A and B are shown apart, each in its own frame.
Chain A
Amino acid sequence: MATPIHVAGLQKAYGSRAAVDGIDLDIQRGEVFALLGPNGAGKTTTVEILEGFRRRDAGEVRVLGDDPQTAGLRWRDRLGIVLQSSTGLDLITPREALASTAKVYSRARDVDEVLAAVGLTDKAGDRIGKLSGGQRRRVDVALGIVGSPELLFLDEPTTGFDPQARRDFWELIESLAHGGTTILLTTHYLDEAEHLADRVGVIAAGRMLALDTPANLGGRASSGATVTWEDDAGTRHTERTSTPTKLVAQLAARHDGEVPGLTVTRPSLEDTYLSLIAPHLDDSAEDITLEEVTT
Chain B
Amino acid sequence: MKALAIGWDRTVLELKMYFREKEAVFFSFAFPIIMLAMFAMIFDDSFGTGDAADAGVNAARFFLPGMVAAGVMLTSFQSMALSVAVERDDGTLKRLRSTPMPPVSYFLGKVGLVASTSLAQFVLLIAVARFAFGVQLPTDAGRWVSFAWVFLLGVASGTVLGIAYSSLATSSRSVGAIVIAPALILQFISGVYFAFTDLPDWLKQVASLFPLKWIAQGMRSVFFPDSWQTQEMAGTWEHGRTAIVLAGWAVAGLLVCARTFRWTKRGTT
Chain A residues packing against B (C-beta within 8 Å) = 51, 53-55, 73-74, 76-77, 79, 81, 83, 85-89, 91-92, 96, 100-101, 103-106, 127, 143, 147
Inter-subunit contact A88/B5 (CB<8 Å): no
The answer to whether B92 has its CB under 8 Å from any CB of chain A is: yes
Residues of A within 8 A of B17 (CB): 91-92
Inter-subunit contact B101/A143 (CB<8 Å): no
Q: Which residue of chain A has its CB nearest to the CB of B20?
A: A91
- List B61-100 residues whose CB lies under 8 Å from chain A: 86-87, 90-92, 94-95, 97-100
Q: Could you list some 13 contacts between A and B, CB below 8 A?
A: A53-B268, A53-B269, A54-B268, A73-B100, A81-B95, A86-B95, A88-B91, A100-B13, A103-B5, A104-B100, A104-B101, A127-B20, A147-B100
Inter-subunit contact A88/B86 (CB<8 Å): yes
The distance from the CB of B6 to the nearest CB of chain A, in whole angstroms, is: 6
Known: A53-B264, A53-B269, A88-B92. 20 other contacts (CB 8 A): A51-B98, A53-B94, A53-B98, A53-B268, A73-B100, A73-B102, A74-B100, A76-B99, A77-B100, A81-B98, A81-B99, A83-B94, A85-B91, A86-B91, A88-B90, A92-B20, A96-B16, A103-B5, A104-B6, A127-B20
Residues of A within 8 A of B92 (CB): 86-89
Q: Which residue of chain A has its CB nearest to the CB of B269?
A: A54
Complex formed: what's the CA distance from A77 to B6 in Å? 14
Residues of B within 8 A of A54 (CB): 268-269
The distance from the CB of B49 to the nearest CB of chain A, in whole angstroms, is: 49
Chain B residues packing against A (C-beta within 8 Å) = 5-6, 9-10, 13, 16-17, 20-21, 86-87, 90-92, 94-95, 97-102, 105, 264, 268-269
Inter-subunit contact A55/B269 (CB<8 Å): yes
Residues of B within 8 A of A85 (CB): 91
Complex formed: what's the CA distance from A103 to B17 in Å? 18
Complex formed: what's the CA distance from A147 to B102 in Å? 15
